[in-house]
Amino acid sequence: MGHPGMIEIARRIAAGEMSALEATTEALSRVDAVQGEINAFVDVFHEAASTQARAIDAKRTSGETLGPLAGVPVVVKDNICIGQDRYPGRTTCASKMLEGYRSPYNATAVTKLLDAGAVIVAKANLDEFAMGGSGEHSYFGATKNPWDLARTPGGSSSGSAAAVAAGCVTMALGSDTGGSVRQPAAMCGLVGLKPTYGRVSRYGLVAFASSLDQIGTFTNSVEDAAATLTAISGHDPHDATSAPREVENFVAALEQEVSGQHVARVRPEGGVHPAINDALERAAGVLSGAGVTLDDGQLPHTRYGVAAYYLIAPAEASSNLARYDGVRYGRRAELREGEGLDDLYTRSRSEGFGTEVKRRILLGTHALSSGYNDQYYGKAQRTRRLIKQDFEALFDSGARAVLMPTTPEPAFKLGEKLDDPMAMYQEDAFTVGANLAGLPAISIPTGTVDVDGSNLPVGVQLIGRPFDESGLLALARALEHGLRFIERSPLASRGE
């Protein structure tokens, strides 16, 4: 099969050039072959995925209409619920707290994928409850980068990114709360799309920070990202934050003319790897060559983005995770003689949550505590408003999108920042702004750089106007075509 894109796989299956079962069997074989090296998967659905694929082949044989993604193998991050009607998998959030939990229902995004004909072959590993930027905070162990097994694939959607980068599938769902799709996409040489807040239903996405979370996608191309967004977007009455927007054909929107549009380029203020500055300049040159006008833009309050994010997100997390107490939800500790209900709560949460989750719960609880609420949480929310206004000022001045780095550096080594939470949090410096402002953003790979003998990918991101994914994707497509990044990870190349 080589490495055709998602749309091409669906076309071949619809045309009878290959079967859905063949595509699924190959994906499962790749999963089995690399899992021992990258630890990207929590559950693998050999039997259920094969059954789904056979059903799709039977539909094609009988002349029934197939969905746009019929037979395409995909992976879903394990904080997105999959019910028990077709798949026997768990929804663990990579936490001991939910180690054995099996969801009784599908996330809306999963239902839409299945309705489009996609075949889910596995659930992907992640930082516990999506809290982390390196894939190391998982109860099931760290995920490794297919470009260099000694390095992080990024996080928190570590397994989803590694699955696509290793050539197991051509699309994986992730979630992006502060950059958890775009950061690993940049570190794994992928296209990572975070839609506008409300574009894709959050129903069935286990909540981390409810005002920031958004389901996103990993693909090898902008076209595949557009096709997936078309399949999973749309208003959902199950989600009060779901926007009442018509589903657009984002693939058709890729043909929009980008010449004559304006893009605001925001240069990093310092503290970035030289390769990141080079990537930004290369991307700016490509867009300029496509007829886009590049204007230098300023986001003056972005410097406070990490501080604001790490007050707002933990505050919401401390509220959302309060339900996991060993009684209503989650793993229950065994009561010892003489212990009461408070002891049950304490030990269930102490034993069930990992270090990073506990750290963020404590941060959030402190930020919301009496006497500190306005000083910390309230001030962070006011800063959030200023960051949103900075983006609005650029858009009001005529910019269709903002061009800036995705990460401060290429993939760093596993363990390098594990004992330094502040250094780990700074990896989100360029990504949290889009979440705080609720904007769509996409990371595009620009090339590779040699870092201590490792050939590692780097990327840049485009951040668009609210609900202007069509314009954002058209600009991303022009950038992708000009950059011509086609290099594959060593692990993916080994399987061809």
Q: Which residues are catalytic?
A: 77, 156, 180
Phi first, then psi, for residue 374 (nearest 5°) are -75, -35
Residue environment code for 20-35, b if the CB has 16+ CB neighbours within 10 A, otherwise e: bbbbbbbbbebbeebb
| DSSP line for 114-142 | HHTT-EEEEEEP-SGGG--SSS---TT--
Terminal alpha carbon distance of the chain = 8
Sequence-separated (6 or more) residues with CB below 8 Å from residue 320: 207, 208, 209, 210
Beta-carbon count within 10 A of 362 CB: 12
Quick one: which of 147, 86, 93 has its CA closest to 124?
Answer: 93
User: Tokens 């595949």, residue?
Assistant: 224
Only one residue has tokens 């920070």, namely 209
Outline where 134-190 has alpha helix (H).
Answer: 158-165, 182-188
Q: Report how far residue 382's alpha carbon sits from residue 318's, in angstroms, rounded to the nearest whole number.
A: 20
| Of 234, 236, 237, the residue nearest 249 (C-alpha) | 234
SS3 244: coil
C-alpha–C-alpha distance, residues 368 and 210, integer Å: 16
Under 8 Å between Cβ of 216 and 126: no
Q: Are the C-beta atoms of residues 38 and 256 closer than 8 Å to each other?
A: no
Which residue in this structure is represented by tokens 């867009």?
Answer: 287
Integer-rounded Cα Rg, in Å, for the chain is: 21
Neighbours of 144 (CB within 10 A): 24
Largest CA distance in the chain: 74
Burial of 245 (0-12, 13-18, 19+ CB in 10 A): middle
Rounded CA separation 372/484 (Å): 50
Say how far apart CA 207 and CA 168 lie, in whole Å: 27
